[in-house]
Amino acid sequence: AERTACQTTEALQMLGHADRRAAVQRCLAALKFTPAPSVSVEVLGLWDTVEALGFPDWGARLLHKANIRPLTIDVDTPNPRYGDQLCNVRLALQALSIDDNREWIFTPLPLARSHVFNGCPVPDGQHLLGTDGRVLPGRLKEVWFSGAHSDVGGGYADSLMSGVSLNWMLEQLAGTGLVPAGTRVREDRHGRSHDPEDGLLAGAGYHAIARNIAAWPLAAGQQPEFSGSLCVHASVFERRRALALQIHENAQLRLLQAQSVCLEPDTTDGPSAPQRLREVIGGRPPCGEAPQQRIQIEQFPACKGMQ
């Protein structure tokens, strides 16, 4: 009976979050284990968490690279290899990379998506979700920064760009009392940004594609509290006004200031699902007569759902 109540790890990975949790509880009950009570995580601080574990959808990516099928990258499809729910978190912070060009394999895992709350217990108003099931204002802060994955999260010895996101994180932690106010590290908002595709695997194992940051805020899986909004750090606007955009940096959005921008399909890398989008620029009104999608580019901390 104990064996039949417990599934293999591989079988559990095929289940959705709620079903997986129920299956684990049945197994523990059969083994007569009493689960420890749930604990609250005061602060979850993340830097550009990417979906690299297990090479997800590797076959589909190779088919796209060979021009056999459209690019399909969906941040709203849960990865069963991850326990990415936020049920017991009081404050969630994530610094995301604008310019990493490996969406083909290193797709980020945004937090402001509905699937990370699926299967959570009835909200108690003490964690991210209020009793109405919506994310409480200021409890989930997801902010975009210039640079590639390791420019934001750290790892390059020849640049201090990662200090920008670390100082932002320290400021948020100081507001909780976890670090002393004024705690800072060295930073360089105009430092060198790196091309992660510039290496031995360039053009072979990877495939350079900018992140579809213009489309994600409009996808159905975005939590409604953040819908249609892209929250950007002030350093991004400062940097892009001062420096010419490099060939490896994300050109989908100009990101010169906080504003509403109109979008059009981006077919640079062929057909895609969901559709890749880019800012309408050059020789045309910002938004023409034809119905077009638009997003609001906002500057932290004055971002939708984060105040």
User: DSSP string covering 208-275, please?
Assistant: -B---TTTGGGSTTB-GGGTTEEEE-HHHHHHHHHSPPPTTS--S---SSSEEEEEEE--TTS-EESP
> For 24-28, 117-121, 169-173, 293-297, which range has the lowest pLDDT when averaged over its residues?
24-28
Tens digit of each residue's pLDDT (9 = 90 or more) over 186-210: 999 999 999 987 765 555 556 788 9
Checking if the pLDDT of 136 tops 70, the result is yes
DSSP 59: H
N-term to C-term CA, the chain: 51
> For 44-48, 221-225, 285-289, 295-299, which range has the lowest pLDDT when averaged over its residues?
285-289
pLDDT for res 52: 66
Q: What tokens appear for 253 in the block?
A: 């959005």
Instruction: Give CA–CA dist 137/135, Å, rounded.
Output: 6
- 206 alpha-carbon distance from chain centroid: 20
pLDDT for res 18: 66
Average pLDDT over residues 113-139: 90
Buried b / exposed e along 51-90 (16+ C-beta atoms within 10 A): beeeebbeeebeebbeeebebebebeebbbebebbbbebb
pLDDT for res 279: 94
Counting Cα atoms < 13 Å in the Cβ hemisphere of 8 gives 2
Instruction: Give CA–CA dist 114/78, Å, rounded.
Output: 10
SS3 sequence, 10-25? HHHHCCCHHHHHHHHH
> For 146-155, 175-184, 214-223, 290-299, which range has the lowest pLDDT when averaged over its residues?
290-299
pLDDT for res 68: 80
H helix or E strand, kind and range, residue 9: helix 9-13
Checking if the pLDDT of 301 tops 60, the result is yes
Q: What is the mean pLDDT of the chain?
A: 86
Return the closest-CA partner of residue 151 out of 276, 248, 54, 252.
248
Average pLDDT over residues 113-117: 91
Handedness of CA 260, 261, 262, 264 (dihedral sign): negative
Highest mean pLDDT among 12-26, 59-73, 97-111, 189-203: 97-111
Buried b / exposed e along 174-187 (16+ C-beta atoms within 10 A): eeeeeeeeeeeeeb
Tens digit of each residue's pLDDT (9 = 90 or more) over 83-106: 668 899 999 999 999 999 988 778
Yes or no: say if 233 and 252 are a contact pair by the CB < 8 Å rule: no
H helix or E strand, kind and range, residue 61: helix 58-65
Return the closest-CA partner of residue 218 out of 273, 293, 112.
293
Instruction: Give CA–CA dist 131/62, Å, rounded.
Output: 44
